[in-house]
Structure 1
Amino acid sequence: MGRSIVSGLSREADVIQPIEEAVDLSVSVVLYRPDVAQLERTLSTFRASWIDLLRVNPWRSANVFLVDNGGSPDLTSIVADFAAIDIRCTVITGHGNVGYGAGHNIALAQSNSTYHLVLNPDVELAADALVNAFAFLEANLGYGLLTPWVGDERGELQYLCRRFPTVLDLLVRGFAPARLRTLFAVRLWRYEMRDVINDRDMVVDPPIVSGCFMLFRTEILRRLQGFDDRYFLYFEDYDLSLRAHELSCVAYLPAVRIVHHGGGASRKGWLHVRLFVASMFKFFNRFGWKWL
């Protein structure tokens, strides 16, 4: 089946080719059977944060790409909501479930922007998230990737920055029951960078950052050729983070805040466990195995 693209501003035939008009920010959100209510919260908080940015810099421009890997609802009203604030929202469909990273790469191929935001459909942005992110990146040209403070539904910090993992770290954190995890608390504390990640201090060059919110300079992301689409799901963000350090600095910036509603693979069923293990093998085969 050929790929179809629906835009709030153009007919399908007009938008199959990469968008020529340059914008400040492009955003890609990959969808697969999304929770509709959560998706609407994600996009509404992005719009609110964008409106806050416009109050500071009213000349800013953005494009949003919703990449439908399957099972998405009718997105017409969402496209209209973006059009109401002069954001072009493009829905890309028809390519099938190509995986998380490959879905974002489809959007990246069509974007023409200064910055590109990889955004999960289960994230909510603070109102000032984009104001603070843009201010930092424009004042610090050596940084090509920004990762935010990530909280959970209770407002507690999620430690999603990582040091390079061992196989034991991944298996214990991902699949061990809580009682067993306490026996490995010290090593998990180090793996999750709890000694340096907090809600106050910027951290330079955390080795691995979460794919739920990755704000890149688009030039850097293009030079990296986006995600490695050999990962169908899981570890594509680990891979991309490590490669990003080859081209630029990475910043953990707690002034940029989001809430992430995602869960671990073990809580999503056996299919996700299998995908996790398969991607783990790909990751270690590429970057080197560390067992203990």
Structure 2
Amino acid sequence: MRLSCAVVSYHNDPEQIAEVLRSVASTPMDIALYLVDNSGNDQLAAVAQEFGAHYIHRPDNPGFGVAHNLAIAAALEQGVDYHVVLNPDISFGPEVLPALSAYMEQHRDIGLIMPDIRYPDGSRQHLCKLLPHPVDLTVRRFLPGLYRLSGRLEHYEMRGGDYDRVMEVPALSGCFMFLRSSVLKQVGGFDERFFMYLEDVDLSRRVGRVARTVYFPGVSITHAYQKGSYKNSALLLRHIRSAVQYFGKWGWLFDAERVAVNRRALNNLQHGAELPAASGSLLDRKP
């Protein structure tokens, strides 16, 4: 079994990048590590060298998906079995990657897995989500109080489920995506039309057509979760553009696949279903 991990940076603090690379380097496994740097300067080259990471510099800043696809292509050429997409603002202990690798080895029909994710203060981040409806993204962003009071937030973030149990989840966060390489080859990497935002939902959805997409709380990572589009108008515009691209691709108000996938995920939660042993995805398994 061979494993690769990749981080994409854009003018991140060198110590922040060192922290995530240190997390990977602390793992007792042989890992191919990539740092794709979209920054205008190459000051992170020294950090990459310190942790034995392959350094790819793209000062033209082609976007999150394009940059990760560079690392994915290089990793797949090396014949890795699994590839991990990592955000720059995460850290984790040496037990995380071995535990996820072992679980994926035991469950060959899983194509994508995400661990329990915590804020730096130890509180849980609810990053298990249904496939979004335009209302979810619009009201959640611009009228968060109303969204919470309506009960739709708990529904969208699958809080009716037990975050202490394994769950099948239609949309997993791009801050930490543990992917089976054979599935990546089948569905392709990130859709490069998304500069940033919603590329993780898009990839989760494509993986979910051919394999299971799973939340695994057996191990936890820490995620600073900057929520840049809540603080920066340029990033907000990027987020809006990506939402338009996403719904233009998959459907706005009418999206039969979204309805079917979300209904099955919620049905599994409602009945407390354990993950079935049979192969298949949320889209094609019968109740």
- Percent of paired sites with the same residue: 34
Alignment partner of 1:105 is 2:37:
no
Deviations 1:6-56 (A, max 9, x none): xxxxxxxxxxxxxxxxx71111111111122222221212222x1xxx2xx
Instruction: Read off the aligned partner of 2:158 and give its amino acid letter.
Output: M
Equivalent residue for 1:163, pick from 96, 115, 130: 130
Instruction: Read off the aligned partner of 1:195 and give its amino acid letter.
Output: G
Alignment partner of 1:74 is 2:43:
yes
The answer to whether the 8 Å contact 2:40/2:59 transfers is no
* Equivalent residues, number: 251
Equivalent residue for 2:116, pick from 149, 158, 161: 149
Q: Which runs of 5+ in 1 are unaligned?
A: 1-22, 55-59, 84-88
Deviations 1:183-229 (A, max 9, x none): 33x1110000001141x20012x110000000111121122110000
> Any idea what SS the aligned residue of 1:144 has?
strand
Q: Give the structure 2 partner of residue 201 of structure 1.
A: 165
Change in CA separation of 1:290 and 1:259 when aligned onto 2, cut-off 3 Å: farther
Change in CA separation of 1:285 and 1:76 when aligned onto 2, cut-off 3 Å: closer
Q: Give the structure 2 partner of residue 286 of structure 1.
A: 249
Change in CA separation of 1:182 and 1:161 when aligned onto 2, cut-off 3 Å: closer
| 4+ runs deviating over 3 angstroms | 179-182
The answer to whether the 8 Å contact 1:36/1:73 transfers is no
The CA deviation at 1:268 is 2.9
> Any idea what SS the aligned residue of 1:105 has?
helix
Matches within 5 A, 1:32-43: 32-43=10-21
Instruction: Read off the aligned partner of 1:220 and give its amino acid letter.
Output: V
> Any idea what SS the aligned residue of 2:113 has?
strand
The answer to whether the 8 Å contact 1:47/1:82 transfers is yes
Q: Give me the whole-angstrom Cα distance separating, in 1, the residues matched to 2:98 and 2:172.
A: 21
The CA deviation at 1:63 is 0.9
The answer to whether the 8 Å contact 1:159/1:197 transfers is no
Q: Give me the whole-angstrom Cα distance separating, in 1, the residues matched to 2:46 and 2:57.
A: 16
Instruction: Read off the aligned partner of 1:69 and give its amino acid letter.
Output: N
Q: Give me the whole-angstrom Cα distance separating, in 2, the residues matched to 1:234 and 1:216.
A: 18
Q: Give the structure 2 partner of residue 27 of structure 1.
A: 5
TM normalised by structure 2 equals 0.82
TM normalised by structure 1 equals 0.81
Q: Give the structure 2 partner of residue 173 of structure 1.
A: 140
> Any idea what SS the aligned residue of 2:188 has?
coil
The CA deviation at 1:233 is 0.8
Q: Give me the whole-angstrom Cα distance separating, in 1, the residues matched to 2:39 and 2:95.
A: 32
Q: Give the structure 1 partner of residue 183 of structure 2.
A: 220
Instruction: Read off the aligned partner of 2:211 and give its amino acid letter.
Output: S
The CA deviation at 1:72 is 5.2
The answer to whether the 8 Å contact 1:126/1:256 transfers is no
Equivalent residue for 1:45, pick from 6, 13, 23: 23
